[in-house]
Structure 1
Amino acid sequence: MLSTRPDPRIVAVKPLTVPAPGRSLDLQVKVTAPVSDRDLPVIVFSHGNAWSLDGYAPLVDRWAAAGFIVVQPTHLDSRRNGIGWEDPRFATVWRVRIADLHAVLDRLDDILLQTVGTDARVDHERIAVVGHSWGAQTAGAILGARVFDADGVPGEDFSHPSASAGVLIAATGTGDTLTPFAAEHLPFMRPDYSGMTAPALVVAGGRDQSRLSTRGPDWFTDAYHLSPSPKSLLTLTEGEHTLGGLAGEAVAETTDENPARVALVADATSAWLHDTLKIDSAAWTAFGDGAAAADDAWSLVRK
C-alpha cells in the first residue's frame, strides 16, 4: 500500500532546536515531509528507549511519502545523551518525554517555519501522535492515558488538545506483572488506559515477549482492551518487539528482521490515520477487507 501520490519525493530537515525551559539538554527534532501538496496532516513520533531523531527511517520515510509531515524529537533517554538506569535524572525521564511532545505540539508553527515551506502546507486540524515501545506509552499520555502511583491511584492528566488521534506500537501493558528489574527502575510503567478516550490504533506483535513483564505477548494489547472505544487492534502474528525492524535496517535490537512486516505497520498506520482524520477512508477500508485473506499473518479487531 505504498503511497500513490503523484510526487512521492520527501525532504528532511534536522536538527531543529525547540525551546524547552528546565530541560537539562536541548530538545532537538527532525522534520520529514513531502516536497509537494498542501493541507498535510502531522504525525508527532515518540521513539523507543535509547533511540533518537535519526531512527525509524523505514516508518517515517514511508509516512512522509504517504502525505504526512513527521516530527521526531530526541528524548533524554537517547543513548547519545548517556543517561542510564542509575543516573538520578532517569527517574523523571518519563515526564520529560511527555513534556517534549507538549513542547512540539505547542510550538509546531515555529518548528515548521524553520523547514522548507511546510509551515504554509500544514493542516492544523489533523494532528496525531504515534510512538513505539516506551514512545507508545508517551504518546498514550498525550491521548489521555495516566500512570498509576504506588497506591494504585491514577496520576496527572497529560492529554493535549491538539492531538486528535494516535497509534500505539508495542505499548506497555498494565504494571501488576512487572519483573523485579522493571518495578525498581521503571515504576512509571503502570499505565491507566481507562481515560484514553481519543481514537487509537494499537499495534502488537504475537511473539513479543518482554523482559519487563511476566506476562506473554498479550501484555502489549492492554492499551486496546482496557481503553474505551473507538479503538482498533492490529496484531502481527510473528512479530516481535521491533515488528520486523521499525527502528532501521539490520539494527541490533531487531530479532525478527522482515521489511515486509515494517511496511505493513507503516501502511496500516497511514491508512488508519487517513480514515480517522477524515482525509480518505479507501485505504483503511481495503485494509479491513484484506484481513480475511491475510493467511494468519495478521489480524484486526475493532471496538
Structure 2
Amino acid sequence: MKRLVTGVIALLMPVALTACGQAIAAPVPAPRAAAAPQQAYAVGVRTLTFGRGTARPLPTIAWYPAASGSAGDAPRRNVPLADGRFPIVLYSHGLHSMPAHHAALTTRWAAAGFVVVAPAYPYTNLRTARFDRGDVRNQPADAWHVINQVRVLNDVPGDLFAGRLDTARVAAAGHSAGGYTTAGMFTRGHSARLRGGIVIAGGMRDTFGGPPAAMLFVHGGADPTVKLATARSAYDRTPWPKGFLTLPGQRHGEYMGPGQPGFDQIMATMTDFLRWTLYGDATARGRLPADAQRPGVTRWEGRI
C-alpha cells in the first residue's frame, strides 16, 4: 500500500427525515451555524503538541482558513485565521501513515472553511518505534482528546485560534484504520457536537449510538485490505442519515490522489457533506448525488 494511503440535514432539521419508507433520526439541533463560505481561502498550518499522558503523545497538524494570501498557494505556517468562526474536522490517518500524507484532502477542506486537525497516533503512525495494530481500539479516545484540546484554544487569549472556532460543530473523517477510528467515535455517549463522520476505506466494529449524526462512507469496490462488504455492513447498521460512495474496481485509496479517477468526485462529495452537516448548507446537501456521480468511475446511494 502506497504511502499516501497507508496510512456536507437541511439546516440541521430537528425532526426525523424519511427516506425509502424508513424514518431516519436527524442530528440534534445546535445553535444556528454561520453561513457556509462562498469563497475559497488561502490555507495556514500550525503544529500542536497534545497527549494523553506521556505514553500517548499526539502531535497534531492543524490546517485552517488564512486571513491573507491566495487560494491555491502552499500553506503558510502560523499566519492569522480568516475572520469568522470555523467548524472543526478531526482527521485520522491509517496504519503506517502520517497526517501530512493526507494533505491533499485536509488542505482542500481548510480552503473550504474548516479547521482540520490531524493527530499522529502513537502506535500506528509511520515513525513509531512500537507499532501495534491493536492500538486502533484506543484511537477514538485519542481523537476526542485532540478535539477537546483544540476547543479549549478558542478561549485562550492570544492563541491563534482564539475566537475563531465554532466549537459546537465538529466532524470526523479518516482513512482505513483511521476510518475505523472515525466510526468508533460515534458510539453511545458521544457528544452531540459531533455532527458528521466520513469513513474512507474503513468499517465499524462496534455499534453506532448516541446523538444522531450523518455518516458518509467512501470505498473502493475492489479494496483488498478492507473489503467492500465490511463497509456495507457498517453502512447498513447506521441508523442515521447516510450516504455511500463506491468507486467500482478501485482498491484501498488510490482515488485519494489528485488527478486519479474519482478524486474530484470524492472531494466534491466529502466537502459538500461537511458544508451540509457543519454549516447547515441545504444547497450542498442537494448537490451530493450529482457530486458523486461519474459513470464508470463512481456510484452513489444515500438516505439523506
Instruction: Decide whether the 8 Å contact of 1:46 with 1:139 is kept in 2.
Output: yes
1:240 maps to 2:251: yes
1:205 aligned to which of 208, 220, 223: 220
Residues 179-237 of structure 1 show CA distances to partners (whole Å, capped at 9, x for unaligned) of: xxxxxxxxxxxx13453742111111112122x6xxx5332222211221311111122
CA distance in 1, matches of 2:158, 2:59: 14
Residues 17-73 of structure 1 show CA distances to partners (whole Å, capped at 9, x for unaligned) of: 11412x524221011001124121110111111112322011001111111100000
Q: 1:138 to 1:217 in 2, by over 3 A?
A: same
1:55 aligned to which of 101, 104, 114: 101
Q: 1:290 to 1:10 in 2, by over 3 A?
A: closer
Give secondary structure in 2 for the equivalent of 1:244. Answer: helix
Cα drift, residue 260 of structure 1: 5.1
Partner residue of 2:11? none
Instruction: Decide whether the 8 Å contact of 1:274 with 1:280 is kept in 2.
Output: yes
The count of corresponding residues between Structure 1 and Structure 2 is 250
CA distance in 2, matches of 1:115, 1:259: 41
Partner residue of 1:195? 209
Instruction: Decide whether the 8 Å contact of 1:46 with 1:73 is kept in 2.
Output: yes
Give secondary structure in 1 for the equivalent of 2:230. Answer: helix
CA distance in 2, matches of 1:64, 1:83: 32
The amino acid that maps onto 1:84 is: F
Counting helix residues as a fraction of each chain, which structure ranks higher?
A: 1
The amino acid that maps onto 2:161 is: T
Give secondary structure in 1 for the equivalent of 2:101. Answer: coil
Give secondary structure in 1 for the equivalent of 2:262. Answer: helix
1:118 maps to 2:161: yes
Q: Alignment identity in percent? A: 24
Partner residue of 1:71? 117
Matches within 5 A, 1:14-163: 14=47, 16-21=48-53, 23-35=54-66, 36-76=82-122, 77-85=124-132, 91=134, 93-111=135-153, 117-144=160-187, 157=188, 159-163=190-194
CA distance in 1, matches of 2:162, 2:251: 37
Cα drift, residue 263 of structure 1: 3.3
Partner residue of 2:276? 275
Q: 1:240 to 1:158 in 2, by over 3 A?
A: farther
The amino acid that maps onto 1:17 is: T
Residues 103-123 of structure 1 show CA distances to partners (whole Å, capped at 9, x for unaligned) of: 112212345659973332211
Partner residue of 1:254? none
1:230 maps to 2:262: no
Give secondary structure in 2 for the equivalent of 1:282. Answer: helix
| Larger RCO (alpha carbons 8 Å, 6+ apart) | 2
Q: 1:296 to 1:259 in 2, by over 3 A?
A: closer
Instruction: Decide whether the 8 Å contact of 1:234 with 1:301 is kept in 2.
Output: yes
Q: 1:232 to 1:226 in 2, by over 3 A?
A: same
Cα drift, residue 269 of structure 1: 1.0
CA distance in 1, matches of 2:90, 2:157: 16
CA distance in 2, matches of 1:127, 1:245: 22
CA distance in 1, matches of 2:140, 2:160: 27
Give secondary structure in 2 for the equivalent of 1:277. Answer: helix
Output the TM-score relative to the length of structure 1.
0.73
Instruction: Decide whether the 8 Å contact of 1:31 with 1:115 is kept in 2.
Output: no
Residues 247-273 of structure 1 show CA distances to partners (whole Å, capped at 9, x for unaligned) of: xx7xxxxxxxx4353332222111012
Q: 1:204 to 1:97 in 2, by over 3 A?
A: same
User: 5+ unaligned residues in a row in structure 2: which ranges?
Assistant: 1-35, 67-81
